[in-house]
Amino acid sequence: MRIDDARIRGAMDSRLSALDASAERRERIRHRIDREEETVVRKKITISIALAVIALLTLAGVALAASLNLFAFFGERDARLAEIAPKATLATESPATVESGELGTTVAAIRNAYYDGQTLLVAYSIENGTRTERFDPGEEQLSQMTKLDAPPFIVSQDGEGQSILNEFNAAIKSGTTYGIVRYCVYPSDHTETDDGIDLPPTQEMQESAPEGGQYMLREYESPLPEGAQNRESLNIRIPLWQGVSWTYFDGKDCYVLSERQEAGALTAMVPCTDAQTRRFAGEGTYNGVRVRVEADASAVHANVTATAEADVFTPLDEDSWYTLDVRDALGNVLRSSEFRAVDTRTIAADFEGTGILPDRLTVRILVESEGEWDEDTAFAAATPIVLTMVE
């Protein structure tokens, strides 16, 4: 599923999100998605965009199997998740039930989680989370609505709801008046430990369950905040919101109004696995300058930093950027999840692991550009820097 800027804007406006992504960041996100060509919906870096996508998805009301390992489910398309699925367990979980006149009973629960002392991944499900209906605003309600800069294009994944949204999108295209109201229960983008440590998310995957409903898997910044590292177990809490949003197109302009309130929380105790983290280091050159590369890597995550002896990482034009190509001893590519240009001598990046603890890494420093970019040529021209384990 491709999400363009208008869809993202509409979803953010209807959810009253105060977060947004710059045009440059959105462009890079689109560029990365186009290159990876993944079937599973994955939005990186800005969790606000990932949660905006959730706002566009209506959830079917079929009971979800509590025994299903969602890491194995997503692992059908991501070998890393399949590898760690047996270790994605919970010590305790507390499903949340939300009752409302519009939705009836909504059930949300953390189903599986992986915590190795440095990294956290949480998989959860939501059943019967959204309902879409037609509506015509009264004069008073219309006066309270906010005009959008551009009409949204909204997609859904349920039966009747999709039909209504198809009519809404067609009305915008033809210039016909149309209004919709959406009721939803959705998770906050904040996750906290039981002692109040905020765990910053980095990305989230979403997919419809085969029997209906919605599965999601959220990853967090790694390494975790210092206070949340290396515990025997991690008690986590994700607040739930219950909201309603009205969207009305008057034939020319589109208006929105949203309300929300707290609706409980997803909670679980996640035991720490016996997974290892290894430190790697190696030296090489980039544009004739000596560079030292260091990495901390586990089966699911890697932090890589390249430090040069001179100012070799000078600023590039706005359509180009430095990147690191990292591969294990078998040639498997570690997918980047966050890149940071620290200064003119240092660049760093976070990567997803392959699910297997590496014993050697190879790093190449590249410059990517928007538009035409020959990866094979760039890769062949870059000098490999081999990293070996540090005792």
Closest CA to 78 of 118, 116, 40: 40
In the predicted model, what is the mean pLDDT of residues 149-162?
A: 70
Q: Is 129 left (phi over 0), alpha (psi -120 to 50) or beta?
A: alpha
Query: Are 299 and 351 members of one domain?
Result: yes
| pLDDT for position 342 | 79
Q: How many C-beta neighbours within 10 Å does residue 336 have? A: 18
Query: Are 241 and 291 members of one domain?
Result: no
CATH number, domain with residue 287: 2.60.40
- 110 within 8 A of 238, measured Cβ to Cβ: yes
- Most distant CA pair in the chain, distance: 72
- Residue 178 three-state SS: strand
- 42 within 8 A of 78, measured Cβ to Cβ: no
Q: State the distance between the two ends of the chain, measured CA to CA, in whole angstroms.
A: 45
Task: Please name the residues in contact with 191: beta carbons below 8 A apart, sequence gap of 6 or more.
Answer: 122, 198, 199, 201, 218, 220, 236, 237, 238
Residue 24 CA to residue 124 CA, distance in Å, equals 31
Query: Are 245 and 366 members of one domain?
Result: no
Query: Are 168 and 84 members of one domain?
Result: yes
64 phi/psi in degrees, rounded to 5: -95, 140
Residue 339 CA to residue 45 CA, distance in Å, equals 9
At 348-359, the pLDDT tens digits run 998 988 888 899
Query: Are 32 and 83 members of one domain?
Result: yes
Q: Which domain holds residue 344?
A: 278-389
At 366-388, the pLDDT tens digits run 888 877 666 666 676 678 899 89
The total domain count for the chain is 2
- Residue 32 three-state SS: helix
At 60-85, the pLDDT tens digits run 333 444 568 999 999 998 888 999 99
Query: Are 306 and 241 members of one domain?
Result: no
380 phi/psi in degrees, rounded to 5: -65, -30
pTM attached to this predicted model: 0.70
The counts of H helices and E strands in the chain are 8, 21
Instruction: Dig out the tokens for 330 from the structure.
Output: 């078998």
